[in-house]
Amino acid sequence: MPELPEVETIVRALRAGNGAPPLPGQRVMQVTVGWPRHIVEPSLPAFRKRIRGREIKEIHRRGKYLVFTLDEGTLLIHLRMSGDLLIAPSVSPRGPYDHTVFHLQNGWELRFSDARKFGRVHLVRDPNTVLGKLGPEPLAKSFTPLLLEEILKGRKRQVKSLLLDQTFVAGLGNIYTDEALHRAKLHPLRRSNSLNREEIHSLWSGIRESLQMGIRHNGASIDWVYRGGSFQNHFLVYKRAGEPCVYCLTPIQRIVVAQRGTHFCPSCQQESTV
């Protein structure tokens, strides 16, 4: 599933164009929907009517959502497991998974490719009806070690499971949670209420460093649904089971936490203080 760095990379590409016209300033003339379940709200007929003629004013990211601010309303797209967005000329052949296509006024299209069809699209008047449930942005200036300590109070969950919870912190998924915990030297099964202030600060640093590194390398390309990223060449633990830790040479182990394959170094991330 695309996580914060992958989504941020897509947002920046759409904003800049990268060989295509930048998306901000373009107007949506109509939409083709080949997979109606992409559209969560409003109803499909209402969606087609309301999106027609809308100008895309700006694009940003909130957690794993792409947020398109329109001249009227807000378009939200969640890529889920296999989604991708790209701008292509209308005359170029569409791919087999381009299920939702926004036709632009300039002869180009914004294509939502989604092989597994889990992606979701919302067209809302108030984006907070969807985004309001999300936790803080981990790369925002407001996300400080003190804030992390505050939102950890009263939580008694395994730290890996907690970090995957989008209502706790927005944007982290399996890759960057594993990488962040390794940087923080925290075992994924540690209980969140067992962390002391120094460990919370290390966790804060680990989260931000992992995400910033991911963005710097345009995200990770570890599956056919990703494109162009190289962060997979810099993983510390993720998908490296049996390989030596880059710091202590202990073989990386894999366990299952919160139904997710989880990678860690048993020497750098000891479980003894659980």
Query: What are the residue numbers of the active site?
Result: 2-3, 64, 260
The amino acid at 51:
I
With tokens 């750098």, the residue in question is 268
List, edge to edge, every strand of the sheet that includes 28-33.
Answer: 28-33, 98-104, 108-114, 83-89
What is the CB neighbour count within 10 angstroms for residue 22? 15
Cα–Cα nearest to 129, from 73, 81, 171, 64: 73
Q: Which two tokens stand for residue 180?
A: 């962040």
The amino acid at 229:
G
Q: Which two tokens stand for residue 110?
A: 């914004």
Q: What kind and span of H or E run contains 130? A: helix 128-131
